[in-house]
Structure 1
């Protein structure tokens, strides 16, 4: 969970007048400082490096998080540099939201809640793919 940045170049917050999204693992607002270097990571699914895809939802979420962290590291960033997620979930349910929240905390820490949009979808790019996550990160330039 080490960040590549010496200090965050962004602030995460929840403006007064909006509901508290903390129990769902995200923040409403991410503000990035001028001059930060942006890292945009394409959607990462639950497939392993050899293309294998576990049929279990939790296993796919866990692998997608690992894939995302690998991509961030390749760009000189870490999990705590993420400011925004977009999440796609096949057959979304409260149970799957809970699994996503648990795996997000396991991978990114309980106190880091980037802005997030979750979109229920009927299917994803690969047969059997149940979860995909893309991220935007910001680090010191």
Structure 2
């Protein structure tokens, strides 16, 4: 009999394989709630993690990737209780882009707690945005 209280690694097939880089896209924990800890999702697309130099597009892609991970846990954006944003060369224009895109996915009054950290660079050349999350169900 499998112990359903053990942490479960979930790496959706639609996203690149993170194992060679030493992390998982997400981990679920049930005790007594299902908790999902999601690694930073960037604006890269596909197995090769192709990045555009457009900040808005990277935010949109990162949210799309975050949604894929959430769905792999049978969760939605409404299950997210905490996010951390990393923005390269943060400024007011980028903040406004983030807020506009966030309002498209969080439409209700239950909004996650949030921390925004301006950074000079991220893990890969060309990455402009990254979001990690904790979700609970």
TM-score by length of 2: 0.74
Q: Which runs of 5+ in 1 are unaligned?
A: 1-33
The equivalent of 1:108 in structure 2 is 106
SS where residue 109 of structure 1 aligns? coil
2:46 to 44, 49, 60: 49
Shift of residue 107 of structure 1?
A: 2.2
Structure 1 position 117 matched with structure 2 position 115: yes
- Looking at structure 2, the residues matched to 54 and 91 of structure 1 have their Cα atoms a distance apart, in angstroms, of 16
The equivalent of 2:63 in structure 1 is 65
- Looking at structure 2, the residues matched to 67 and 44 of structure 1 have their Cα atoms a distance apart, in angstroms, of 6
Determine which structure has greater relative contact order: mean sequence separation of CA pairs < 8 Å that are 6+ residues apart, divided by chain length: 1
The equivalent of 2:6 in structure 1 is none
Superposed CA offset, 1:5-47 (max 9, x none): xxxxxxxxxxxxxxxxxxxxxxxxxxxxx82211010000000
The equivalent of 1:38 in structure 2 is 35
- Looking at structure 2, the residues matched to 42 and 66 of structure 1 have their Cα atoms a distance apart, in angstroms, of 14
**How much is the aligned-residue C-alpha RMSD, in angstroms?**
1.3
- Comparing 61-70 with 46-55, greater Cα deviation is found at 46-55
The equivalent of 2:80 in structure 1 is 82
- Looking at structure 1, the residues matched to 79 and 73 of structure 2 have their Cα atoms a distance apart, in angstroms, of 11
The equivalent of 1:96 in structure 2 is 94
Runs of 4 or more, structure 1, over 6 Å off, are none
SS where residue 122 of structure 2 aligns? coil
- Looking at structure 2, the residues matched to 43 and 54 of structure 1 have their Cα atoms a distance apart, in angstroms, of 17
Superposed CA offset, 1:40-81 (max 9, x none): 100000000132111100000000000001001111111110
Shift of residue 108 of structure 1?
A: 2.6
Shift of residue 110 of structure 1?
A: 5.2
TM-score by length of 1: 0.72
- Comparing 106-115 with 64-73, greater Cα deviation is found at 106-115
